[in-house]
């Protein structure tokens, strides 16, 4: 019987070359990704400013300052005010076929794996956070 060789080094070399080719292939998706990567910082600032403005209308700064004062005074027992990186908005836009008000809900996350599309929490978000199994 001859000895079976795994050729690990050869397979790794080929894999790295193929990976390099696919990663550098010029596609519409790659161009969109690169363009989005350049503009994401300004979009985050704009969206976060708008979200902050809306939240400040709902929660006046004086009220927030009062709550922070009580939080400092009493600690975690009154932990209702904190700096946040995500916002959940809901509003009524129109009426459905039954005459009931339609509520539009959106979740905006300005964190590392956040989004500006206003999507709800989904299983897709969980799948993105899992390591790739190869």
pLDDT of residue 126: 46
pLDDT of residue 4: 67
Task: Give the residue, 82 or 126, on which the prediction is more confident.
Answer: 82
- Neighbour tally for 108: CB within 10 Å: 19
Task: Give the residue, 7 or 127, on which the prediction is more confident.
Answer: 7
How large a percentage of the chain has pLDDT more than 90? 3
Q: What letters, b where the CB count within 10 A reaches 16 and e where it falls short, cover 74-96? A: eeeeeeebeeeeebeeeeeeeee
pLDDT of residue 16: 92
In whole angstroms, give the CA distance from residue 30 to residue 28.
Answer: 5
Q: Mean pLDDT, to the nearest integer, of 84-97?
A: 74
How large a percentage of the chain has pLDDT more than 70? 71
Q: Mean pLDDT, to the nearest integer, of 89-118?
A: 72
């Amino acid at each position: 019987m001859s000895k079976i060789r795994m050729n690990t080094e050869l397979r790794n070399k080929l894999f790295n070359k193929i990976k390099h080719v696919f990663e550098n292939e010029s596609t519409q998706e790659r161009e969109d990704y690169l363009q989005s990567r350049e503009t994401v910082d300004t979009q985050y600032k704009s969206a976060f400013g708008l979200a902050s403005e809306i939240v400040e209308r709902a929660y006046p700064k004086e009220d927030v300052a009062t709550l922070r004062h009580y939080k400092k005074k009493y600690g975690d027992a009154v932990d209702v005010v904190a700096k946040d990186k995500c916002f959940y908005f809901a509003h009524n836009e129109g009426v459905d076929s039954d005459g009931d008000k339609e509520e539009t809900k959106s979740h905006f996350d300005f964190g590392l794996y956040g989004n500006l599309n206003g999507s709800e929490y989904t299983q897709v978000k969980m799948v993105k956070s899992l390591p790739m199994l190869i």
